Amino acid sequence: MRSPACRPPRQVGRKRPHTNTREPIIQEPEASEPEATRRTAGVTESSRANRGWWDRNADEYQIEHGTFLGDDRFVWSPEGLDEVEAELLGPPEELKGKDVLEIGAGAAQCARWLTAQGARPVALDLSHRQLQHALRIGAPFPLVCADAGALPFADRSFDLACSAYGALPFVADPVLVLKEVRRVLRPGGRFVFSVTHPIRWAFPDEPGPEGLAVSASYFDRTPYVEQDDDGSAVYVEHHRTIGDRVRDVVAGGFRLVDLVEPEWPSWNTAEWGGWSPLRGNLIPGTAIFVCERD
Ligand SMILES: C[S@@+](CC[C@H](N)C(=O)[O-])C[C@H]1O[C@@H](n2cnc3c(N)ncnc32)[C@H](O)[C@@H]1O
């Protein structure tokens, strides 16, 4: 879930410090910081950049957010919406025996919760380092390192698919991913995915009051890109409006059953990047799409 993961839109032109926790002890000459900008980025460039970014930053992500995520909770978003209360995949007692694909699983906390319900999850992620964290915590289910745009599974392999801020915010061609998910789902199968709420792209990615004033066009779909000195992308997020996402879902062969915008609960005093109680009480931070394969 995403700053990192989903921290758009930072101020473009601003450089972000390196966050690699596995830097060598012997200091090399400092590599310059990536530059944040808005520019086009295609499928291959986005995938390559994000694979590298998540491999380099998985350790920090899990250190920073692991406690909030828990080892075996299914949390949909920084608001803390839990699948136990939301039941977006259906009643927990009906998950028993279901084949479930978790996409952009990170350390696979959701898959672990699904296992506890008697489901048979498979956790997929683009980043091998994220999946190493899944192994560290414990993964009594298959882990698959692959891109959501090319799922290495046979048609109709799963009853359900889910993704908590995994893949969809990062891909240049979301319809390709939705078609892939549809292909591997059995008829009637459900796909539920959460993303940064599109309205967030109109505001600075700041948790405080400075994050409350519109600073960019909601309608500007130009991707957020961090690039190195050579102009090569090292991190990419893609913006779709709410209408775009609905059309993507339909174009991917799904029926939209619900669109959930979790409200900020009073118990949650934690900040997550640009998500905060202050902003969460005023504007939505997350959109969760509940889709069914026709
Ligand atoms: C914000 S993290 C979310 C991880 C986990 N679902 C959670 O809630 O902590 C986004 C994850 O999506 C993965 N990801 C990004 N692009 C992807 C792609 N094209 N295919 C599969 N996974 C991808 C990243 O490697 C990362 O682990």
Whose alpha carbon is nearest atom 10 of ligand 1?
166
- In this predicted structure, the answer to whether residue 3 has a pLDDT above a threshold of 70 is no
| Tokens coding 208 | 């405080």
Tens-place pLDDT, residues 147-171: 999 999 999 999 999 999 999 999 9
> Residue range 251-256: average pLDDT?
98
> Mean pLDDT for the chain?
91
Tens-place pLDDT, residues 275-287: 999 999 999 999 9
Residue 7 CB neighbour total at 10 angstroms: 22
Q: Using a 6 Å cutoff on CB, does residue 54 contact ligand 1?
A: yes
% of residues, the chain, pLDDT over 70: 89
Residue partners of 255: CB distance under 8 A and separation at least 6 = 291, 292, 293, 294
Of 6-15, 35-44, 96-105, the least confident = 6-15
Given a contact cutoff of 8 angstroms between Cβ atoms, the answer to whether 258 and 290 are in contact is yes
Given a contact cutoff of 8 angstroms between Cβ atoms, the answer to whether 149 and 170 are in contact is no
Task: Classify 214 in phi/psi space as left (phi over 0), alpha (psi -120 to 50) or beta.
Answer: beta
Given a contact cutoff of 8 angstroms between Cβ atoms, the answer to whether 262 and 82 are in contact is no
- In this predicted structure, the answer to whether residue 46 has a pLDDT above a threshold of 90 is yes
| Tokens coding 99 | 């084949």
% of residues, the chain, pLDDT over 90: 88
SS3 for 45-94 is HHHHHHHHHHHHHHHHHHHHHHHHHCCCCCECCCCCCEHHHHCCCCCHHH
- Mutation to probe ligand 1, out of 46, 68, 126, 180 (largest number of atoms < 8 A from CB): 126
| Tokens coding 61 | 């992500």
What is the 277 CA–ligand 1 centroid distance (Å)?
24
What is the 144 CA–ligand 1 centroid distance (Å)?
12
What is the 169 CA–ligand 1 centroid distance (Å)?
9
What is the 109 CA–ligand 1 centroid distance (Å)?
12
> Residue range 59-66: average pLDDT?
97
d(CA 168, CA 181): 11
> Residue range 231-247: average pLDDT?
98
- Tell me the C-alpha to C-alpha distance, in Å, between residue 150 and each of 105, 145, 165, 244, 278: 15, 11, 18, 22, 39
- In this predicted structure, the answer to whether residue 24 has a pLDDT above a threshold of 80 is no
Residue partners of 65: CB distance under 8 A and separation at least 6 = 1, 272
Q: Using a 6 Å cutoff on CB, does residue 106 contact ligand 1?
A: yes
Tens-place pLDDT, residues 68-119: 999 889 999 999 999 999 999 999 999 999 999 999 999 999 999 999 999 9
Which pLDDT belongs to residue 294? 82
> Residue range 242-269: average pLDDT?
98
pLDDT band at 16 (very low <50, low <70, confident <90, very high): very low
> Residue range 227-255: average pLDDT?
98
Tell me which residue of 293, 228, 223 sits closest to 255, measured CA to CA: 293
What is the 104 CA–ligand 1 centroid distance (Å)?
3
What is the 105 CA–ligand 1 centroid distance (Å)?
6
| Tokens coding 115 | 């296992």
d(CA 247, CA 241): 10
What is the 170 CA–ligand 1 centroid distance (Å)?
8
- Mutation to probe ligand 1, out of 132, 162, 165, 193 (largest number of atoms < 8 A from CB): 165
Beta bridge partners of 161: 101, 191
- In this predicted structure, the answer to whether residue 141 has a pLDDT above a threshold of 50 is yes
Q: Using a 6 Å cutoff on CB, does residue 50 contact ligand 1?
A: yes
Q: Using a 6 Å cutoff on CB, does residue 80 contact ligand 1?
A: no
